[in-house]
Amino acid sequence: MTAAAVLDVVAARADLDGAAPVVAFDADGTLWAGDIGGTAAQRDLPELNRQVWHDVVGPRFAARTGVEVDLGPDGPRTMGADFDAHRLPHTAAMSLEVFTAQTTCWAGQTDDALRAVGRAVFAEHIAAGTHPAVGAFLCALVERGARAYVVSASPAPFVEAAVRALQLPVTAVFGARAEVDDDGRWTSRVALLPQGPAKVDVLAPLLDGGRLWVAAGDTPRAGDAAMLAAAVHAFAVGPGGTLSPLGPDDIEA
């Protein structure tokens, strides 16, 4: 079913039930072309976070993956570049370790400080590659009565900053988060990492026993597969932000 046809289905469903159908969108590769979490981790980190990488996150990544990593200031950049260039395997396990490292390397920062980083990264690296058609589809679904959520493995404050800059009518963002200390600062322990089946897990309490009506993502055979498979209507986002309807055989959950 085309995106235009799905809009009519969602509107009819909202009128029938009197409740807002839930729709979910991935962020990186879906609402925009880049990876906001990976890009942020590959910038020059603050001195505090260079130390976190050297003392905790880099050694832990190496121990868990068996990959030798640079523990110096360029370590996060090198790890991210190797992953992006497929010099590291794009398995589910390796993806989780990379995303964990790119989240926990921000230990010591607050949500507000990370949103400021997110705003800068969005303006400098992401804004020029946004996908207007996907954003317009999200807006049109909300206009027809849906509740829209963004679910991403990038750190939540970065995604929140980008979604706010795009002025998307999103009910909430579910992104990667670390546990926080008593002062509200991130620690080096992950609290939430919505990737793979975990994307469905964070949405499940919102469905009230129903189904996810629409989902869109750029990796139907990888990190977005479970979320797309859970949706009544699933769409793959291709280069340039093209939307293509998916059937069950197109998704490898």
pLDDT per residue as tens digits for the range 58-69: 999 999 999 999
Domain annotation for the chain: domains and CATH numbers? 3-250 (3.40.50.1000)
Tell me if residue 69 falls in helix, strand or coil: coil
Torsion of CA 147, 177, 166, 228, to 10 degrees: -50
Are the C-beta atoms of residues 203 and 183 closer than 8 Å to each other?
A: no
**pLDDT value, residue 22:** 94
Per-residue pLDDT of the chain (253 residues; tens, 9 = 90+): 777 888 877 777 766 666 788 999 999 999 999 999 999 998 889 999 999 999 999 999 999 999 999 999 999 999 999 999 999 999 999 999 999 999 999 999 999 999 999 999 999 999 999 999 999 999 999 999 999 999 999 999 999 999 999 999 999 999 999 999 999 999 999 999 999 999 999 999 998 677 899 999 998 888 999 999 999 999 999 999 999 999 888 888 6
Q: Which amino acid is at 96?
A: L
End-to-end CA distance of the chain: 20
Q: Which neighbouring-strand residues pair with 176?
A: 155
- C-alpha pair distances (Å), 63 with each of 42, 51, 57, 67: 21, 18, 10, 8
Backbone angles phi, psi at 31, to 5 degrees: -80, -25
**pLDDT value, residue 141:** 95
What the block records as the tokens of 59 is 């050694």
194-236: pLDDT as tens digits: 999 999 999 999 986 778 999 999 988 889 999 999 999 999 9
**pLDDT value, residue 13:** 73
Nearest to 30 by CA among 235, 248, 253, 167: 235
- C-alpha pair distances (Å), 59 with each of 5, 65, 243: 50, 10, 40
Backbone angles phi, psi at 40, to 5 degrees: -60, -40
Our measurement of the distance from residue 11's CA atom to the centroid of its chain's CA atoms, rounded to an integer in Å, reads 26
